[in-house]
Amino acid sequence: MIFVPLDLPPIPNKSELVKRFVGTTYITGHCGRIEVEKENMTITDRFSHWTETNLYWRDRHWTDIAKKDFPEIIDWVQTNLPFEKYFLIRLGRLYKADPHIDNNLFWISQQADDLYNKLNNGEVCPFPNTDMFKYTDFENSIYEHQLANEPVGYRFILSGSRDTLYMSKDQRVKLSDDKKHYCMIPEDTDSYVIDNCTQPHGVDPKPGIDDDRIVGFIVGLVKPKEHKELVQRSVEKYKKYVMTKEMVT
């Protein structure tokens, strides 16, 4: 199975959370779009101000931004999700995404440093502390753990469309519409899981509806039994939304 909506309560207070996910001034480079609103930012602060804002970072802590602006999400995550340990919880403002596999994006592979340099493409990254990209044993164990527990890519929607995520057989290619298998996230839940180690997927945003599309990503180690129970319960409840690899041709 590569997709199922989760039988979990909706995220509380979504419209307010979306309003808090704002920036004022941005610089754009190969590192992404970075908010530079505050003066005297520390490296950690600055890292937290990508257009993707980290709420939890590398098995260490909830970020100050999470505690100050998104306590509802901390509470929702801690109450509902079957995780033993987190690596990354991130809110991202998403636009069009061509087919890709997520684990690449989270830099949890052994090639993290290479990828980092490639992304920077010769530009000076505003985050010179490359220690941030050195991986602990825990972090290097995540990929194997995910493979063993797929679908384990936990995601949640704060705003935007619920029918523009699609699965595809191939990645990194331009796809014709008949190669895109769209997933539906019903209105009574905000969360879902995808297979994030092996399954190519993309997003075709809808103008107007997705101008402020904000999605949460969670990466870490699940408690396998609880995770499995939640997925099974969700499959029961959301049978008609389930997508399997066999359906993606």
Residues that bind Fe ion (CB under 5 A): 102
Residue nearest to Fe ion (CB): 102
Tell me the CA distances in angstroms from 107 to 70, 104, 115, 155, 248, one per residue in order.
24, 6, 7, 17, 26
Beta strands at 165-167 and 52-57: parallel, antiparallel or unpaired = unpaired
Nearer to Fe ion, 102 or 139 (CB): 102
Closest CB to Fe ion among residues 69, 155: 155
Whole-angstrom Cα distance, residue 14 to residue 199? 28
Residue 139 or 195: which CB sits closer to Fe ion? 195
Q: How far is the CB of 131 from Fe ion (least distance, A)?
A: 26
Quick one: which of 57, 76, 144, 154 has its CA closest to 109?
144
Nearer to Fe ion, 13 or 109 (CB): 109
Q: Which residues contact 216 (CB under 8 A, 6 or more apart)?
A: 55, 73, 89, 90, 91, 92, 155, 156, 157, 158
Task: State in angstroms the smallest separation of the CB of 108 from Fe ion.
Answer: 13
Task: For residue 155, give the nearest of 107, 216, 201 by alpha carbon.
Answer: 216
CA separation for the pair 71, 76 (Å, rounded): 9
Q: Least distance (Å) from Fe ion to the CB of residue 197?
A: 12
Minimum CB distance to Fe ion smaller for 92 or for 189: 92
Query: How many C-beta neighbours within 10 Å does residue 81 have?
Result: 21
User: What's the closest the beta carbon of residue 188 comes to Fe ion, in angstroms?
Assistant: 23
CB of 201 vs Fe ion, minimal distance in Å = 6
How many residues can be counted in the chain?
A: 249
